[in-house]
Structure 1
Amino acid sequence: MRYFLEVSYDGLSFHGSQLQGDLPTVQYAVNKALSTLLRVPIESFGASRTDEGVHALGNFYHFDYEGELHPHTVYKLNALLPLKIAVVNLYEAKNPEMNARFDALSRRYRYKIYKAKNPFKQGRALFHPYPLDVATLNETAAVLKEYLDFETFSKRNTQTFTFKCTIFQSYWEENDDELHYVVEANRFLRGMVRALVGTQIKVNKQPGSVALFKSIIESKDCCRADFSVTGNGLYLEAVNFPEDTLINISNHRI
């Protein structure tokens, strides 16, 4: 049977989400907890890779197990996992071939920025004490939905075979004393969300910022993008799958 784990985690505590030998990554911790609890070697496969420092409210991992899992599995896994990872939900896939990465319809990310110094937000959002024109930011954000090729916003030395992505949502919103960028797409390139944020901030106060942003997109030159914003302001907020493909077998929600 194929199962899906929905997990949340504090990215500051791990060397990214993807398995890297014995380094403390999210996937390493998930595999270890599953193997310990189920008493057989378990290998999980992630829906979305997050870099070191990037947080997740809802990332997914699928794995196979011959036996039937029960709701109390969530409680037992949370007891085994490090404090900075929590299982949010456990699902059974109706299709035993369903893949967390390839069958996801979309991923949604949120990037958080704050402008007044706050020691409790350090490591949880980007400190940017400079004025930003939110109306212009929303203009540049909306422009992204007009494009499919995002080579400009992909780091070099990537293993991807295509730079095409379909962006479903792209907007900025003010949230109390924070400014958030929300973007949802069918897929993302390596470093793409941070580059989208950094580049929009970079052009925000320049003359003709929207036209400039378009020219950067169309250049397909990653040297014109700004990848410098920190990862700890970034949250993988949700991974979405087709309706009625996963059966929730949890009785516990974080």
Structure 2
Amino acid sequence: MRYRFRCEYLGSAFYGWQEQNEAGKTKFVTVQSALEEAFSVALRAPIRIVGSGRTDTGVHARGQCVHFDFDGELDPFKTERSINGLTKRLIRIRDLQACAPDFHARYDAVSRYYQYTIFTRPVALMRDFGWECGSLSLDLGAMEREAQAFLGEHDFIDFCIPRNDGKSTLCTLTEFRLERVNDWTCMFHIRGNRFLHRQVRAMVGTLFDVGRGRYPEGTVKTIFEKNFKGERTWAPPQGLVLQDVEYADY
């Protein structure tokens, strides 16, 4: 039988989502490997899980979706409690339920929704969950206007680290909105059908360069047209959260 659930995790505690076990190298603890170990203990059988997508080292999640197969019945409530007790408060799962046998956490996703937080003053308490830019002055209006250039379908090959796996680098973004949370916090809301490796961090880094006056408005279009020359900033991972993955029925 196939099951699915949502999970949130503290990205800074893991080496990304995907399990790593390269020959001759130490096996790092990833979110995937930690969950598989917990489920294998709780259900007393080897369990392989499939997530809606990968998150990089340091990137957090609140709404990652996962599915797995288990030949047997399980009590969703008791299993959730067991998993949450085994993952040392670094991962929390919820909404565990049986689903259609052909449901796929990755391929059935309609859209992904990310949030990226920037602090425009020095912070201490929340610096692990946002990009602390110190006292650097940012033109948030310019960043907000520039973000609109990402909307629609584009080839994001120049806003990612290509995996060279032969897959398309076309993505469609339906939302790229800047919210001013307070006088010193702003949050980007980013939604699209799919995202490439480090794409969000590349996009936010470019907006940051525009906001601090390093590059003019119109830079995103210049990059898409492959007419840009210069160094670019990559936004750090801790400000990024996979907030939700949307499906037709979940």
Match of 1:56 in 2: 61
Larger CA deviation: 96-105 vs 76-85:
76-85
Match of 2:200 in 1: 193
Match of 1:229 in 2: 235
Q: Matches of residues 1-254 of structure 1 in structure 2 within 5 Å?
A: 1-21=1-21, 22-70=27-75, 71-93=77-99, 95-129=100-134, 130-176=136-182, 177-206=184-213, 209-219=216-226, 226-243=232-249, 246=250
Unaligned runs of at least 5 residues, structure 2: 22-26
**Alpha-carbon distance, 1:156 to partner:** 3.7
**What count of residue pairs does the alignment treat as equivalent?**
242
SS in 2 for 1:165: strand
Match of 2:24 in 1: none
Aligned mates of 1:148, 1:205 — CA distance in 2 = 25
Q: Which amino acid aligns with 1:124?
A: F
Aligned mates of 1:219, 1:44 — CA distance in 2 = 39
Q: Which amino acid aligns with 1:187?
A: R
The TM-score with structure 1 as length reference comes to 0.89
Larger CA deviation: 223-232 vs 24-33:
223-232
Larger CA deviation: 187-196 vs 156-165:
156-165
Q: Which amino acid aligns with 1:123?
A: D
Q: Which amino acid aligns with 2:141?
A: A
SS in 2 for 1:219: coil
Aligned mates of 2:230, 2:191 — CA distance in 1 = 23
**Alpha-carbon distance, 1:157 to partner:** 4.2
Aligned mates of 1:88, 1:160 — CA distance in 2 = 35
SS in 1 for 2:147: helix
**Alpha-carbon distance, 1:209 to partner:** 2.8
Identity %: 31
Aligned mates of 2:143, 2:150 — CA distance in 1 = 11
The TM-score with structure 2 as length reference comes to 0.90
SS in 1 for 2:170: coil
Aligned mates of 2:230, 2:105 — CA distance in 1 = 33
Unaligned runs of at least 5 residues, structure 1: 247-254
Q: Which amino acid aligns with 2:35?
A: V
In 1, are the aligned partners of 2:209 and 2:233 still within 8 Å (CA)? Answer: no
Q: 1:207 to 1:38 in 2, by over 3 A?
A: closer
For residues 77-100 of structure 1, what are the alpha-carbon distances to aligned partners after superposition, in whole Å with 9 as ceiling and x for unaligned? Answer: 11112221111221221x201111
In 1, are the aligned partners of 2:138 and 2:212 still within 8 Å (CA)? Answer: yes
In 2, are the aligned partners of 1:152 and 1:224 still within 8 Å (CA)? Answer: no
Aligned mates of 1:167, 1:92 — CA distance in 2 = 31
Q: 1:208 to 1:28 in 2, by over 3 A?
A: closer
SS in 1 for 2:4: strand
